[in-house]
Amino acid sequence: MALAILLLTWLAPTAARAERVLVFAAASLNAPLAEIARAHERKTGNRVRISFAASSGLARQIDNGAPADLYVSANMVWINWLQARGKIIVASKSTLAGNRLVMIAPKGSATAMDNFSGSAVMRLLKGQRLAIADPGHVPAGIYARQALSALGSWRLISKHLAPSVNVRAALALVERGAAPLGIVYASDAFNNEAVDVIHRFASASHMPIQYIAAAVAGNGGRAADDFLSELTNGRSKQVFKKYHFSRD
């Protein structure tokens, strides 16, 4: 008898109507996406699960059939790559937010920079290495490379890099003081007690940092579409801005 009641509760209509959405998202979007997702869950009763990792790794997983409903990339490159393989619904592509690139140093390491230049950076490094996301394949690293090339200092500085698996790991190196300088997103440095921002790279010095969302072909459904709409509405734009995911 008790078992029957248990079973009925489990199969209750409200539970049956709750759908689940699986999102693969770039690691850097952790904070804003989590906030947006929680609000969405409370509003609709749907469950939103987000897997945060490097855009490249996620793209490959989706290519290999991962059951993600939505993909949010920190870089156009991987969206295009998936599109070429027919893995995303082209019409669903939407730009969610932007970002700025900054150079950071451990808090209180007293690195004032009047004139930002390659040689100034080298001086500040003092023979150690610059923490950066891997410029070979991680979007944050690719942007950083572009920005440094625009500065004319890529050849010089590229020999003194400590390439990390993702931008959060690069951030962690600077937070720990293991690296005297690092290049990360403004959103990473925002509200971080352990680092100081010593330079904001001009947006023009690199390809525009865009966070693009798309629905994955073959998966999804109404709940996924709902969440995608949520991600592009005005409320979400405010959330992104709050966390410094904007071009300003």
Partner 1 sequence: MWALSAIETEAIGLSLKVAFWAVLVSLPLGVFAAWVLARRRFYGHALLNGIIHLPLVLPPVVLGYLLLVLLGRQGPLGALLFDTFGITVAFTWKGAAIASGVMAFPLLVRAIRLSYENVDERLEAAARTLGAGRIKVFRTITLPLIAPGILAGAILAFARSLGEFGATITFVSNIPGETRTLPLAIFSAVQSPGGEDAAIRLVVISAAIALAALIASEFLARRLGPKG
Which residues form the interface with partner 1 (CB under 8 A)? 54, 56-57, 60, 77, 81, 128-129, 131, 134, 136-138, 161-165, 169, 173, 176-178
Closest contact distance (angstroms) between CB of 104 and partner 1 is 15
Length of the chain: 248
Torsion (CA) 157, 244, 173, 210 in degrees, nearest 10 = -50
Closest contact distance (angstroms) between CB of 175 and partner 1 is 11
- The residues with which 199 forms a beta bridge, in sequence order, are 103
Closest contact distance (angstroms) between CB of 134 and partner 1 is 6
- The residues with which 164 forms a beta bridge, in sequence order, are 133
Quick one: the chain helix, strand, coil %, rounded to 5? 50, 25, 30
Task: Considering the complex, state which of residue 39 and residue 165 has its C-beta at the smaller distance from partner 1.
Answer: 165
- 227 close to 132: Cβ distance less than 8 angstroms: no
Task: Considering the complex, state which of residue 39 and residue 57 has its C-beta at the smaller distance from partner 1.
Answer: 57
Q: Which amino acid is it at 34?
A: A
Task: Considering the complex, state which of residue 47 and residue 60 has its C-beta at the smaller distance from partner 1.
Answer: 60
- 26 close to 55: Cβ distance less than 8 angstroms: yes
Closest contact distance (angstroms) between CB of 205 and partner 1 is 23
- The residues with which 65 forms a beta bridge, in sequence order, are none
Task: Considering the complex, state which of residue 43 and residue 176 has its C-beta at the smaller distance from partner 1.
Answer: 176
Task: Considering the complex, state which of residue 120 and residue 165 has its C-beta at the smaller distance from partner 1.
Answer: 165
Q: Environment class of residue 110 by beta-carbon count within 10 Å: exposed (0-12), middle (13-18) or buried (19+)?
A: exposed
Closest contact distance (angstroms) between CB of 198 and partner 1 is 18
Closest contact distance (angstroms) between CB of 75 and partner 1 is 11
Q: For residue 84, which phi and psi values (nearest 5 degrees)?
A: -60, -25
